[in-house]
Amino acid sequence: MNSFRRLGRNKNGRGMIEIFYKKDGQMMVSQSEADFAIIPYDDVVWIDLFTPSGEEKRSVEQYLGTTIQNRAQAEEIEISSRFSETEQAIFANTSFLIPGPEEYTEETVSFILSDNILTTLRECPLKSFTDLQRRIMAFPKIYHSGHVAFLSILENRIDLDADMVELVSKEITQYNKKVSLGEDISEEFLIDINQLQDNTMLIRENIIDKQRVISSILKSANYPKEYHSRLNVLLKDISSLINHTDFGFERLEYLQNTVLGIINLDQNKIMKVFTLVSLLLMPPTLIASFFGMNVQFGWFGTNGWSWIIALCLMGISIIVVFWVFKKRRMF
């Protein structure tokens, strides 16, 4: 038997199987499907499959007497694919968000509850699983069945989702402060707001997905009623998170409208300047075109002071137009 170690691929790049089982009041772990032959069925608590090989999946299916869904089936969005059950087992699929530098990615996780055994199937490392691995080894008496392990993963995951909602809320607050302080609004600023909207939408959809799965489990006759109270608490937490994400959407929409309004005001100011310049130059242009015609007006045109008079008329016309605009507070 192998001792507990951090989840990850082995040196050969293969996936891993970890079998957590009870023995003499302690929690033990094996990383070989061959040990199914010597581990009592009633002592197994959790079987964690991390990018398993075909041989490992077949061994688990044979041990549990059920079929494990493939990745394509697990990622289908229909509720019938996200949750199903037989007389022997409950099958649930849900997505876990993985935060990135700019955007979030989704990882579909499959859960199988057969008797008192939890089986999980995933394709990448997840903090909720790493945390459970530590706790299940430290407190074996608490995690006496797969149902408790399943609840622990969901509770930890909802806490992480709450952290992501709070993080997005802080980012929205930071952008609000930038707008309030009158910082320059660039194209990148608008792209960041749009990315925040996408992330908030993804978080909301991900939380609702867990809500649907938990609601389906509550309706299942195969799930022990002694754990229903904890599932109901999770549903209340999820409902609260959904409200927070809705509020986040409202803040982002208000922020986006404010930014667009500021951009429109800046554009209007620019257009106002161009309009003012055009109107100021219109009378001088008219005067210049009038006196620029090849026509003699008495002494005008033959006198050396003609061009000075024309310039004076242009200057006076600019001053008059400027005074009229200022009087009417048009700028």
Count the neighbouring beta carbons within 10 Å of the beta carbon of residue 26. Answer: 10
Backbone torsions φ then ψ of 300, nearest 5 degrees: -70, 130
Alpha helices, DSSP H, located in 41-186: 54-64, 71-74, 79-82, 127-138, 146-180
Domain with CATH 3.30.460.20 in the chain: 16-263
Per-residue pLDDT of the chain (331 residues; tens, 9 = 90+): 333 333 344 434 456 899 999 998 899 999 999 999 999 999 999 999 999 988 899 999 999 988 887 766 666 656 556 788 888 889 999 989 888 776 788 888 999 999 899 999 998 899 999 999 999 999 999 999 999 999 999 999 999 999 999 999 999 999 888 888 777 777 788 888 888 888 899 999 999 999 999 999 999 988 999 999 999 999 999 999 999 999 998 898 888 888 877 777 677 777 777 777 777 777 777 666 666 655 555 545 555 556 676 677 777 777 777 777 777 666 5
Using alpha carbons only, what angle is made at residue 168 by residues 162 and 170, rounded to the nearest 5 degrees? 105
CB 206 within 8 Å of CB 95 = yes
* pTM, rounded to two decimals: 0.75
Q: Quick one: pLDDT at residue 165?
A: 93
CA distances from 7 to 133, 216, 256 (A): 9, 30, 42
Helix, strand or coil for residue 257?
helix
CA distance 16 to 6: 11
Return the DSSP state at 35: G
Architecture in CATH of 16-263: 2-Layer Sandwich (3.30)
List, in sequence order, every residue forming a beta bridge with 48; answer none if it has no partner. 18, 120
CA distance 107 to 279: 62
Q: Quick one: pLDDT at residue 218?
A: 93
The H or E element containing residue 118 is: strand 117-122
